[in-house]
Amino acid sequence: MAIQLKMPALSPTMEEGTLAKWFVKEGDEVSSGDILAEIETDKATMEFEAVDEGVITKILIAAGTDEVAVGTVIAEMAGEDEEASPAADAEAASASQDEAEAEPANEADPDIMNVAPPAPISRADDPSVPAGTELVSITVREALRDAMAEEMRKDGTIFVMGEEVAEYQGAYKVTQGLFEEFGPKRVIDTPITEHGFAGIGAGAAMGGLKPVVEFMTFNFAMQAIDQIINSAAKTNYMSGGQMRCPIVFRGPNGAASRVGAQHSQNYAPWYAAVPGLIVIAPYDAADAKGLLKAAIQSPDPVVFLENELLYGRAFEIPQIDDYTLPIGKARIMREGSDVTIVSYSIGVGMALEAADTLAGEGIEVEVIDLRTLRPLDTETVLKSLSKTNRMVVAEEGWPVCSIASEIIALCMEQGFDDLDAPVTRVTNEDVPLPYAANLEKAALIDVPRIIAAVQKVCYK
Amino acid sequence: MAKSPRKTTPVKKPAAPKRAPAKAPAEAKATVHSTGGLKAPIYSATKAEMMDFYEQMLLIRRFEEKAGQLYGLGLIGGFCHLYIGQEAVVTGLQSAISPGKDSVITGYRDHGHMLACGIDPKIVMAELTGRASGISKGKGGSMHMFSVEHGFYGGHGIVGAQVSLGTGLAFAHKYKGDGGVCLAYFGDGASNQGQVYESFNMAELWQLPVIFVIENNQYAMGTSVNRSSAEDQLYRRGESFRIPGVQVDGMDVLAVRGAVEEVLKDVRSGGGPVLMELKTYRYRGHSMSDPAKYRSRDEVQDVREKSDPIERLKVALLKQGVKEEDLKALDKKVRKIVVDAADFAEASPEPELSELYTNVLVEQY
């Protein structure tokens, strides 16, 4: 039985090529690895090697022939072994390729057109706080520390690693006390090597541990972003669900105060763009605690974006054991009927302040804190839009390709009929953050800008 | 993790010479290029072990030849990096570790590693053809295959990333105290990536049970080692981190096995990381679409004729009295396995479209 030699595809995109030269003639014996022919494409010249042993019986395409389609039979050979399983194999291959060719390439496949992402599931509400529960005032910094400590007490596979997290107690003191309580095995100072320890953290997670990796700030996580996206976020998918990466990457994000362009940046839209990640950016202490606990418990990789300017701010938090909040659920911070402000992280505080001022002008503002940026709670946003019919997105970050952009697209696609005014975004200016005090102030989002935007969409 | 006192093993003490010996003495086989006093004796294998090595290497070779053929037929798409020529490296190393206890991680030239981990060739080939029965349900492809069951952690596409991840796997071994060791494979090209050295530093600092395995196949895509590496004796690349290194003939499966046995003893006893440089050669292009014009045909032919790992072991087996027919029969058996794998990979259906949105996250939120 003859083995058919077919014009090979030499690259992912090759469709045809020139059969430049034959190195064998009919009757030649060849063995595996011998060069049979030279094939040219527009990109390269490559040698075509024999895979099987045998004798070349026929050369069907002459040297010098142009535009030979991939898959064309260019020669035949007789196998050395007359069981000729390779021939049967080649035929099987050719059969399945014919099938593939039979499908018209450019027509839309109705099945593929019908593929849609799964509908968002109904998300759990925050746990109800029983009447009479004591409220205690703690800072966001303490809330984050308590979340880690509580989870670490429950599960010995959780450890914290990062620069200055142990003996120094954290560059921003978020890990204060953890080293004393859990010791050097579980609270680990790393060298200044973000790329390396993000990878080590991801590897440890793949190996069955639950790392909490602190970046001193997310600006430095750019050194490590390959490991966050290519390793942590994609592995579960690429492995067909076999290999998990339950890790939390956390640290301060966004502009701090007068630290210049390289240390002042909001990465929320970067990470929120990546399927396979969960992205959380809380505003107050209760959410910081409840969501960090949920992040640590999650079997998925989480990017947890904090804000340096909020660390020292105190909020009331219900005194409940194991206070854990649902990931993916936005929170209505203030109810209102005239207009909705959507925000997250530090922007929520500004939105609430703006709402107070606007209430004095007779505008009742609903304020939504997204809290989780991926997956986004589109249900809560759209429901509020259907109530108020006007929306402003307030974001401490750049305007282009932002979370605000995403919310606006959502309203266009799914809330268009509810809109009484264009959705407007209030963001930082579209520049690297300047150092000079007046320029920095001019570049950053503030309450008056949010108020002005709300007035505008209310046509006031 | 405790910054434990580092000098736990005497092997690390002696200062290495500034330069590797320029020329190997006459008894080249017995000369070991190493730092930190590492030894690398040739393994004295039984005939049965040698037959196993032979079969394993042959399986990888035939599998990769078949993969190349299926690529040419359009059944495998995208990037496809073949392991042909390097079989002795993974065969020798994997034969020495404890499956189920140790972990293995590598880059994108990973088909051979999966086979050497004992993973069914059918589901590996079906992944290459992007079918539902593939080990990653067709969602990973040639570069992204994993089997947690077999301690094989991928299958990674970004050059050097697996070195940090492998160091993390070793971190997990030490944290859990499970006695496991991680073999982190990477190439001569990856050995110039920054995160590799970040990982070296932390691995030694924390005394992690990891073997850094450099498969030096001489070319990082089209750039030869000496065109890209200031220190081209790659086994010395751990020196500034006090990581001992050993250079091994990666075309000799018995040399590989012998060296790794010594290294494993050291690493398992808590001695911290060790670097192994396996000098090897890939016969094919970097990937299927590499015309490999950066080296001469003669150079490739020369290695194939003089150093082919399979031919070398074949000669040794014949010397030991194994019959040519027995080897032929083995070859036939291996070809059958590979043909069956290819048939399976071609006949399996593509993944259901509903798989598109599965496994993005583990849980629903």
Q: For residue A115, give the nearest of B157, B353, B363 by CB distance.
A: B353
Token code pair at residue A443: 């570049």
Task: Give the domain range for residue B287.
Answer: 75-345
Q: Is residue B11 part of a domain?
A: no
B359 and A45 within 8 Å at the Cβ level: the answer is no
Stretches where chain B sits below pLDDT 50 are: 1-29
- Which residues numbered 26-85 in B keep a CB inside 8 Å of some CB on A? 65-66, 68-75, 77-79
What lies within 8 Å, CB to CB, of A186 at 6+ separation is: A152, A156, A158, A159, A160, A178
User: Which pLDDT score, from 0 to 100, does residue B293 have?
Assistant: 85
Distance separating alpha carbons of residues A14 and B74, to the nearest angstrom = 10
B291 and A197 within 8 Å at the Cβ level: the answer is no
Q: For residue B146, give the nearest of A81, A243, A278 by CB distance.
A: A243
Q: For residue A203, give the nearest of B140, B166, B339 by CB distance.
A: B166
CATH number reported for the structural domain that contains residue B149 in this entry: 3.40.50.970
Which residues in chain B are closer than 8 Å to A226, comparing Cβ atoms?
Answer: 158, 161
As a whole number, the mean pLDDT across chain A is 91
Q: Higher model confidence: residue A166 or residue A121?
A: A166
B198 and A231 within 8 Å at the Cβ level: the answer is no
How would you write A176-190 as a 3-class SS string? CCHHHHHHHHHEEEC
Question: Cis ω on the peptide bond leading into residue A184 (within 30° of 0)?
Answer: no
A242 and B136 within 8 Å at the Cβ level: the answer is yes
Q: Is residue B23 part of a domain?
A: no
A199 and B78 within 8 Å at the Cβ level: the answer is no
B353 and A112 within 8 Å at the Cβ level: the answer is yes
Interstrand relation of B245-249 and A29-30 (parallel, antiparallel or unpaired): unpaired
Whether the Cβ atoms of residue B212 and residue B239 lie closer than 8 Å to each other: no
Which residues in chain A are closer than 8 Å to B170, comparing Cβ atoms?
Answer: 203
Look at phi and psi of residue A108 and say left if phi exceeds 0, alpha if psi is from -120 to 50, else beta: beta
A204 and B172 within 8 Å at the Cβ level: the answer is yes
Token code pair at residue B341: 């794998």
Tell which of B142, B165, B290, B300 to mutate to test the A interface (max A CBs under 10 Å): B165
Report residue A454 CA to chain centroid gap.
31
Whether the Cβ atoms of residue B200 and residue B116 lie closer than 8 Å to each other: no
DSSP labels, B66-111: HHHHHHHTTSS-S-----TT-HHHHHHHHTTS-TTTSEEEE-S--H
- Which residues numbered 266-285 in B keep a CB inside 8 Å of some CB on A? 283, 285
Distance separating alpha carbons of residues B350 and B89, to the nearest angstrom = 33
DSSP labels, B125-149: HHHHTT-TTSTTTTSS-TT---BGG
Q: For residue A240, give the nearest of B72, B140, B198 by CB distance.
A: B140
User: Which pLDDT score, from 0 to 100, does residue A81 have?
Assistant: 55
B365 and A372 within 8 Å at the Cβ level: the answer is yes
How close B251 comes to chain A (CA, Å)? 18
Q: Higher model confidence: residue B288 or residue A289?
A: A289
- Among A30-39, A44-53, A436-445, which stretch is predicted with the lowest mean pLDDT? A44-53
Residue A287 has pLDDT above 80, yes or no: yes
Residue of A nearest to B102 (CA): A207
Q: DSSP E strands: which ranges in A349-423?
A: 365-369, 372-374, 391-394
Tell which of A223, A238, A376 to mutate to test the B interface (max B CBs under 10 Å): A238
B169 and A206 within 8 Å at the Cβ level: the answer is yes
Q: What is the DSSP letter of A265?
A: B
Q: Is residue B107 part of a domain?
A: yes
What share of chain A in percent tops pLDDT 70? Answer: 93
- Domains held by chain B: number: 1
Token code pair at residue B59: 């399986």
User: Which pLDDT score, from 0 to 100, does residue A127 have?
Assistant: 87
pLDDT tens for A342-381 read 999 999 999 999 999 999 999 999 999 999 999 999 999 9
How close B164 comes to chain A (CA, Å)? 5
The answer to whether B286 contacts chain A (CB < 8 Å) is: no
The H or E element that residue B34 is part of is strand B33-34
Which residues in chain A are closer than 8 Å to B343, comparing Cβ atoms?
Answer: 89, 92
User: Which pLDDT score, from 0 to 100, does residue B24 have?
Assistant: 40
- 3-state secondary structure (DSSP) of residue A274: coil
pLDDT tens for A182-238 read 999 999 999 999 999 999 999 999 999 999 999 999 999 999 999 999 999 999 999
How close B138 comes to chain A (CA, Å)? 8
Distance separating alpha carbons of residues A334 and A368, to the nearest angstrom = 7
Token code pair at residue A372: 């989780």
Token code pair at residue A366: 């609903």
How close A406 comes to chain B (CA, Å)? 19
Which residues in chain A are closer than 8 Å to B332, comparing Cβ atoms?
Answer: 81
Q: For residue A236, give the nearest of B197, B283, B362 by CB distance.
A: B362
Residues B15-29, buried b or exposed e (16+ Cβ, 10 A)? eeeeebeeeeeeeee
User: Which pLDDT score, from 0 to 100, does residue B164 have?
Assistant: 98
Distances (CA, A) of A210 to A142, A162, A164, A170, A244: 21, 14, 19, 19, 11
User: Which pLDDT score, from 0 to 100, does residue B32 have?
Assistant: 81
C-alpha dihedral (B186, B189, B193, B198), degrees to nearest 10: 30
A207 and B304 within 8 Å at the Cβ level: the answer is no
Which residues in chain B are closer than 8 Å to A195, comparing Cβ atoms?
Answer: 164, 194-195, 198
How close A356 comes to chain B (CA, Å)? 32
Write down how long chain B is: 365
User: Which pLDDT score, from 0 to 100, does residue A84 have?
Assistant: 40
A196 and B164 within 8 Å at the Cβ level: the answer is yes
User: Which pLDDT score, from 0 to 100, does residue A262 have?
Assistant: 93
Domains of chain A in start order, with CATH, are 2-104 (2.40.50.100), 135-318 (3.40.50.970), 331-457 (3.40.50.920)
- Among A31-45, A91-105, B267-281, which stretch is predicted with the lowest mean pLDDT? A91-105
Distance separating alpha carbons of residues A453 and A445, to the nearest angstrom = 11
User: Which pLDDT score, from 0 to 100, does residue A3 have?
Assistant: 82
For the sheet containing A331-334, what is the strand order? A331-334, A365-369, A339-343, A391-394, A424-426
Cβ-based contacts under 8 A for chains A and B: 247
Q: What angle do CA A311, A316, A319 make, to 5 degrees?
A: 115
Give this prediction's pTM: 0.89
pLDDT tens for A109-136 read 767 777 888 887 777 788 888 889 999 9
The answer to whether B194 contacts chain A (CB < 8 Å) is: yes
Residue A298 has pLDDT above 80, yes or no: yes
Mean pLDDT of A336-341: 98
Backbone angles phi, psi at A212, to 5 degrees: -110, 110
Tell which of B62, B133, B171 to mutate to test the A interface (max A CBs under 10 Å): B171
User: Which pLDDT score, from 0 to 100, does residue B73 have?
Assistant: 85
Which residues in chain A are closer than 8 Å to B2, comparing Cβ atoms?
Answer: 184-185
Token code pair at residue B40: 């690398």
Which residues in chain A are closer than 8 Å to B363, comparing Cβ atoms?
Answer: 298-300
- Which residues numbered 242-271 in B keep a CB inside 8 Å of some CB on A? none
ipTM > 0.85, yes or no: yes
Residue of A nearest to B70 (CA): A93
Q: Is residue B38 part of a domain?
A: no
Residue A100 has pLDDT above 70, yes or no: no
The answer to whether B241 contacts chain A (CB < 8 Å) is: no
Give the active site residue among A38, A91, A195, A263.
Answer: A263
Which residues in chain A are closer than 8 Å to B358, comparing Cβ atoms?
Answer: 241
Q: For residue B343, give the nearest of A89, A191, A243 by CB distance.
A: A89
Q: For residue A237, give the nearest of B139, B163, B346 by CB distance.
A: B139
How close A184 comes to chain B (CA, Å)? 5
DSSP labels, A13-82: T--EEEEEEES--TT-EE-TT-EEEEEE-SS-EEEEE--S-EEEEEE-S-TTEEEEETT-EEEEEEESST
Write down how long chain A is: 460
Judge whether A194 counts as a catalytic residue.
Answer: yes
Distances (CA, A) of B338 to A68, A351, A442, B61, B342: 29, 64, 67, 10, 6
What lies within 8 Å, CB to CB, of A131 at 6+ separation is: none
Q: Is residue B355 part of a domain?
A: no
Whether the Cβ atoms of residue A278 and residue A374 lie closer than 8 Å to each other: yes
How close A72 comes to chain B (CA, Å)? 10
How close A293 comes to chain B (CA, Å)? 15
Whether the Cβ atoms of residue A355 and residue A387 lie closer than 8 Å to each other: no
Residue of A nearest to B196 (CA): A196
Interstrand relation of A16-22 and A65-69 (parallel, antiparallel or unpaired): antiparallel
The answer to whether B201 contacts chain A (CB < 8 Å) is: yes
